């Protein structure tokens, strides 16, 4: 969408866009999303891969789940998290491509 059409974004859509941006803006939540771009993980795998404590990872998964960005599969007695919004891969790719130091 071109900037010239910014006034044509419905308020509800703009609210959703801002909520998603706010949700992924935290460094740990963004790192979780990057990790989930490759494959699904359980919380312990994510904590180990990210060098974070499991409670911190769990705490930051909650808002991502509430936004519908991350899904959880509790089958088999172990909660496995995956991206629920595949377009997040494009967002990650955009940042990797355009935000290099």
Q: Flag whether 67 is in a domain.
A: yes
Q: Flag whether 41 is in a domain.
A: yes
Q: Flag whether 75 is in a domain.
A: yes
Q: Flag whether 71 is in a domain.
A: yes
Q: Return the CATH number at 83.
A: 1.10.10.10
Confidence bin at 3 (pLDDT 50/70/90): low
pTM of the model: 0.86
Confidence bin at 1 (pLDDT 50/70/90): very low
- Report how many domains make up the chain: 1
Q: Flag whether 19 is in a domain.
A: no
pLDDT above 60 for 18: yes
pLDDT above 60 for 31: yes
Expressed as residue numbers, the domain containing 89 is 26-98
Mean pLDDT of 88-93: 89
Ramachandran angles phi, psi of 83, nearest 5°: -70, 130
Region label for 50, one of left (φ > 0), alpha (ψ between -120 and 50) or beta (otherwise): alpha
């Amino acid at each position: 969408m071109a900037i010239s059409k910014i006034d044509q974004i419905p308020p509800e859509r703009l609210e959703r866009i801002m909520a998603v941006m706010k949700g992924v803006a935290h460094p740990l939540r963004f790192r979780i999303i990057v990790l989930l771009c490759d494959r699904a993980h359980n919380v312990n795998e994510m904590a180990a891969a990210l060098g974070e404590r499991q409670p911190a990872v769990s705490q930051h998964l909650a808002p991502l789940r509430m936004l519908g960005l991350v899904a959880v599969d509790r089958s088999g007695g172990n909660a496995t998290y995956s991206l629920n919004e595949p377009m997040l891969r494009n967002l990650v790719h955009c940042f990797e491509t355009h935000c290099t130091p």
